[in-house]
Amino acid sequence: MVAQPQLSMMTPDPDDFDRFALLPENCDRLFELIAGEIVEVAANPLSSNIAAIMSAFIGIFVLQHNLGHVTGAEGGYKIGAERYIPSVGFISYQRQGELSHFDGYIPNAPDLAVEVLRAATLETDMSIKIANYLAAGIVVWRVKPLERQIAVFVPGAPVIIFGIDDVLDGGDVLLGFALPLKDIFRTPPST
């Protein structure tokens, strides 16, 4: 019998966390390492839908302009000693030329992290993640589905809040990208 790594749920070493996340019993589960604590990523249909819509628009733009890679809710990244799984991530070819098979988390930070909030998301966890993303030079789009708004965090710049009548732009990360929030926060057609 192979000895399983022992892992404290509080302040694990990042290498221990990586081994823990790759255990066979965890292969269908998603974990983040936030401020030294293991957090399991919970599913949410509304957040998943919005992330899928955003991923589609970002993905098409990135493919059309041959910019890099787009990852979904199973694409985790190493952000310093932390491990994050943004709802959508974009990593340019300059940061990560190829996405060969990686077990675990992509070793390089993304250029853009889209975090679609779920009801179970703790505000403190999100604040920590955003601070660490910014410290690593990453642009963050924090999406609040119920409020139908997106906050854009750019290192060294003030936060910009976009509402339902605004158009989200890609800034310097996705130059030329534009997405009306009405296309993200869709309402069903009247019957």
pLDDT at 1 > cutoff 70: no
Residue ranges of the domains in the chain? Answer: 42-184
Least confidently predicted of 33-37, 43-47, 153-157, 165-169: 33-37
Average the pLDDT over each of 65-69, 106-110, 141-145, 186-190 and give the range with the smallest value: 186-190
Please provide residue 104's backbone torsions phi and psi, each rounded to the nearest 5 degrees: 95, -135
Is residue 78 helix, strand or coil?
Answer: strand
Amino acid 99: pLDDT = 74
Per-residue pLDDT tens digits for 60-106: 999 999 999 999 887 888 888 888 889 999 999 998 877 766 667 78
- Integer Cα distance of 52 and 57 in angstroms: 9
Q: Is the pLDDT of residue 11 over 70?
A: no
- pTM higher than the cut 0.85: no
Q: Which of 71, 70, 54 is nearest to 62 (CA)?
A: 70
Higher pLDDT, 6 or 60: 60
**DSSP-based three-state secondary structure for 45:** helix
pLDDT at 160 over 70: yes
Architecture of domain 42-184: Alpha-Beta Complex (3.90)
- 140, β-bridge pairs: 113, 153
- Helix spans in the chain (H): 14-21, 45-65, 123-135, 181-184
